[in-house]
Structure formats: structure tokens, C-alpha cells
Amino acid sequence: MACALIRKNGCFLAVRRSRRMSHPGKWEFPGGKIESEETSFECIVREIREELRLEIKPIDELVPVTWHYPGKFVRLIPIVCEITGGELHLAEHDQMQWIDEEHLKEMDWADADRAMLKKNLLIWD
């Protein structure tokens, strides 16, 4: 799975999982599953277009993290991105928020996203 770390004015875009998704109410970075013949960059461009109606430019891939949820393993690849167009619209999530770095650790993150943030030294306990 790939997730987008979209930064604007010193804040990161986070989205909250809706009731119809697994782990409802948890915050995460938008993204999704990498298709069989896709690169992580191609995936994140497609997923953000589908989920948020935004056009983005992938900039850099950070350190991935593997997380074990009950019944499945997730390998989360964080990709730093910038918005190049579109107007933000939530297609799957029920809320969005721009969060500055000092408040990242206060959010109720999905476990894989929290582990990814810790691994990449964006938050720590």
C-alpha cells in the first residue's frame, strides 16, 4: 500500500476513516493498494485522484513499514507529494484535517500510519 504525505503551509493532510471502512474513526494518510503492474508513485497518483479528486506530484519515497493487523499484513510505503491541481473532495473518508508537525502525535492514527510516522521520525513517544 502507498500513502501520500501531502504537505501544504507546514501542515500534513490527514483523513478520517468512515464507518463503512475497517478501523472507522481512525486517522490516516490517504492512499491505497498498489495494483500488480503499478509503481508506488503511479499508485499514489491514481488513489489520490480517486479518493480526493486532487492531482499530485510524487516527490520522494520514505522508509516503508510493515504492520500486522488481525488477519492481514500491511506494507505501507509513504510518499511525499505536492498538490498540482484539483479541488479537495472526500469520496471515502468522512473528515479531513491539515495538521502541523507538532500535533501529529495527538491524532488517533490507524496503527500502520502511527508506526510509519515513528519510523520516519515525524512523531515519537
The CATH number of the domain holding residue 79 is 3.90.79.10
Query: Within a domain: residue 125?
Result: no
**SS3 state at 62:** coil
In the structure, how many helices (H) and strands (E) does the chain have? 2, 8
Q: Which domain holds residue 32?
A: 2-119
Give the tens place of pLDDT for each residue, 39-82: 999 999 999 999 999 999 999 999 999 999 888 899 999 999 99
Q: Say what the pLDDT of residue 29 is.
A: 97
Grid cell of 62 as nine digits: 520514505
Q: What residue type is 114 in one-letter code?
A: R
Residue 85 in any domain: the answer is yes
pLDDT greater than 70 at residue 123: no
**Mean pLDDT value of segment 108-117:** 94
pLDDT at 124: 62
Q: Report the share of the chain in percent with pLDDT over 90.
A: 79
Is residue 110 one of the residues assigned to a domain?
A: yes
Specify the number of domains making up the chain: 1
Environment class of 96 (CB within 10 Å of its CB; exposed 0-12, middle 13-18, buried 19+) = middle
pLDDT at 21 (0 to 100):
67
Q: Is residue 124 part of a domain?
A: no
Stated pTM of the model: 0.91
